Structure 1
């Protein structure tokens, strides 16, 4: 029995069927959970590109498990290994996977060709240079397609890596450390076609949801955020192209869509998209919304399509820190918008440990969450709290991460303030290993 049968039976896929008769096994790794990987549009987009080539039999790997989801074959049997590294600490899972599979970690000791990409690799590729044969810096499926076109024409194992790597190095954004010590310019996608998930799963973090990117990059310049560093220049995909990209799902049928973007409320055709989904009774989920950009018309349309979760990212409850990060999202604005949209759950994102933050600022964050929870007492409030992690290339990339004990103390302040708020769930995303993310980024 295939190890991943439980997951495979819970998927709906629009990808062409591939079987063992195809000539080259190609591994595609997401070194985190299946749920996270199947909700990551970048990972899914690369997997879809791999399926465009009849020469490959693409198979997925998750976490630190060295056996493929599709057939249970060991990673050591795959001559081509693609890795999507979205979160820097996941590199530890990748190391564990390679060791369990018996695949050498260092590129020069390995026959397999390993290509590393994703947000984690783009922010700071240097730590991974001894491991990866090639690192893709930036984004764009048009460049990913060129990578796999070269690998399809030059099968690894039959053609030495030394002959393949110089060809890969000619592709924009591809860095081959053994050829050039200097990083190439970041690859910038010029595609007008919005990425859309071709697989949905009931075990994904966003169950049975078709994800579609409606924007690339970010309009805003939050000093802690790496999105502009990785994905700018900012671009809105047209409603026509978004609807066209979703057309294959019209036949298969879908009832939930996730709109992916950094400034959803600023999309000039968001109202048109919401009308389209409302007419088809499709429930809409969005990335976090800026309440200061929501018009009355958008609020009315969101009320017709958003039934489960409404997401905001205030980041802090401190007025002076809100000014520093240029994010004026108030408790009053969140309460007002939420009152007009019948979502059962309100999700809030906050950061602790920002530069110049004091314990009083943390208390203000706790009080803001309490104010929102009391005003929306019939809703579930999920407060996702993360530590500030400086990222290379951002305005605050040169700061230090707050010491461990101080962070633990500040998370404790929040929990104490919110104790007794029955409709509030505090989700603190911090472990000691989180500091590895700072070290690698």
Structure 2
């Protein structure tokens, strides 16, 4: 493989933290040498150069499965060459600025401004200003309206793209849904744009964007107009149906609703069985096997559980073959089984046993994310962790049954203690428990319920020791709390967020009641959660705020040591807004900034689920009953097969036949 020199001196590289972040040359990295040579010799325009950009440091970006999947998909194409780029840490950022060196790609060290497309994955709102950092260092105009005919097309995808309005001023294109097909269709449009430059009628950038709008799942923010009405009176005066942020097409022919794309058959979908292997230890230093997409559960706070519907599983046969190739092609000694709830995979025991049989004698272990307490199997966990027995992670989310019913967690207290009794009898002594503070309807009793649950689990551990007579190791329980943030496309998207002061009070209440040498308490930063809700539920008025924040030196906000809430609040108020504008309770009638996007799950169903939450009523999983959320309209996955065999209650309207109550299951 041809080596492309790093545009930095050895002394520059040796002066920064982890210089391996910036040199490339990793195992399984792809450089299309024939294509590059032809580009260099002839300037041929029929190729598309795509830079996949991750707006955080290398070690985090290289743990991202979407990066590996789309990198593989694009490089399998015969007309696209995809490379990678990451946010440089502050020390390298300083060097690039001082020496006027453009931010470059890992593979060929090409400046980002020389690519045809830059694709950002947006998994976390707190990385927004790092997008601006990468474009700025890459010598690309930050505002979409300032880009010329020769500038790259800037696009994005990922969960944050479903409400891209706060970043709409900066992106040419946002992709809604799963990108394997969509990203190739976009690349083909850009290829046509490049080829037209050698004709008598070259296409303009605006024409390119109009052509891209025709692709299902693609949203071109510049083709839409936004009106904001802060209250019903202003909306009525303008003849608008309700207050809120109205995003409508600026011209005829532009689609009114952007519908997300999905991959219907994951077995036939391209998967990276030879992913790029980093030269340094990354955050999740293992290979990944994606088991299925979507979730059957419907936890009302969880955005992923709704935007990734419907559930689609890979077959055991395909997964075992992909797992075999991953082990051979990477050298990792650990493989993560990845999905929103891996233990919900219908053939999970069979899959685990087959993979363990394949890896027998290879010193390769399987790792699982947090487990469902109602589907815990001691026998299975003994097999999975036979080569490397680590701790167990569970997520009850709330400390009382009442609040678990509100959020539709659908686990009972007996599930919790039954699972942990089995785990303790099996020799486990390290347990992590995840909870949330600030959930809708939460009271102090619910907060204290977390401490009570942890203490009863502690007691259970020693009871098991006395009952069995076995020698017990030291117990290590970690109680971890994150903070509730109302996210778009969830039943709780209308709910308010607790104030920072209230969240701090609840955290102190819990901490004061968790005093035990066997229980540790870890909590999430308050300041970042307060700002995250602004970005998650914001609209285009935030564009100038984000631009000024970045130009004031505010980036790497995802890192607590670098986040400065006070400065953000100052800039926000300078632009006539305050935190409470976005953390407040939204009315059910107002137009939301993301209402022009469809994820399949309809708004009527989300409202029904919100009402059921306040009535402390649960909804069963998709495997128990189809509740008609609307995802069946995709014509794929588990809910589609159920819909074809169920009653008319699965119409996608949120109404159940025979219940007599709208939205109840």
Scaled to the shorter chain, the TM-score interval is 0.7 to 0.9
- Which deviates more, 355-364 or 52-61? 52-61
Equivalent position to 1:32, from 52, 56, 72: 56
Alignment of 1:232-271 (within 5 A): 232-252=309-329, 253-271=331-349
Scaled by the length of structure 1, the TM-score of the pair is 0.88
1:427–1:390: structure 2 CA closer, same or farther, 3 Å change rule? same
Equivalent position to 1:113, from 144, 153, 160: 153
Greater CA radius of gyration, 1 or 2? 2
Equivalent position to 1:437, from 519, 527, 532: 532
Unaligned runs of 5+ in 1: none
How many aligned residue pairs are there?
Answer: 438
Kindly indicate whether residue 263 of structure 2 is the aligned counterpart of residue 189 of structure 1.
yes
SS at match of 2:30: coil
Distance 1:283 1:8 in 2: 30
Shift of the alpha carbon at 1:84? 0.2
- Which deviates more, 363-372 or 268-277? 363-372
Distance 1:340 1:251 in 2: 36
Alignment of 1:373-412 (within 5 A): 375=461, 378=474, 380-412=476-508
Kindly indicate whether residue 213 of structure 2 is the aligned counterpart of residue 169 of structure 1.
yes
Shift of the alpha carbon at 1:261? 1.5
Alignment of 1:29-428 (within 5 A): 29-53=53-77, 55-62=80-87, 67-68=103-104, 70=106, 74-110=111-147, 111-122=151-162, 124-155=163-194, 160-179=204-223, 181=249, 182-193=256-267, 195-196=271-272, 198-201=275-278, 202-207=280-285, 209-252=286-329, 253-279=331-357, 280-281=359-360, 282-295=364-377, 297-304=379-386, 307-327=389-409, 328=411, 330=413, 331-339=416-424, 345-372=430-457, 375=461, 378=474, 380-421=476-517, 424=520, 426-428=521-523
Distance 1:8 1:266 in 2: 39
Q: Answer whether contact 1:27 1:61 (CA < 8 A) is retained.
A: no
Shift of the alpha carbon at 1:178? 2.8
Distance 1:154 1:148 in 2: 10
Q: Deviations over 1:375-394 (max 9, x none)?
A: 38635444332110001121
1:9–1:97: structure 2 CA closer, same or farther, 3 Å change rule? closer
Distance 2:115 2:195 in 1: 10
Shift of the alpha carbon at 1:82? 0.5
Decide which structure has greater strand share.
1
Distance 2:24 2:506 in 1: 40
Distance 2:152 2:73 in 1: 20
Q: CA RMSD in A?
A: 3.1
Distance 1:286 1:160 in 2: 49
Q: Answer whether contact 1:26 1:79 (CA < 8 A) is retained.
A: yes
Shift of the alpha carbon at 1:329? 5.4
Distance 1:35 1:294 in 2: 32
Unaligned runs of 5+ in 2: 7-12, 40-47, 94-101, 198-202, 225-248, 250-255, 463-472, 537-665
Scaled by the length of structure 2, the TM-score of the pair is 0.60
Q: Answer whether contact 1:22 1:56 (CA < 8 A) is retained.
A: no
- Which deviates more, 251-260 or 196-205? 196-205
Q: Deviations over 1:373-424 (max 9, x none)?
A: 5638635444332110001121111001110111122222333333453563
Q: Deviations over 1:200-226 (max 9, x none)?
A: 44522211x111211111101111111
Shift of the alpha carbon at 1:431? 3.8
Q: Answer whether contact 2:391 2:432 (CA < 8 A) is retained.
A: yes
Shift of the alpha carbon at 1:367? 3.1
Q: Answer whether contact 1:15 1:51 (CA < 8 A) is retained.
A: no
SS at match of 2:52: strand
Shift of the alpha carbon at 1:242? 1.2
Q: Answer whether contact 2:378 2:423 (CA < 8 A) is retained.
A: no
Distance 2:447 2:311 in 1: 32
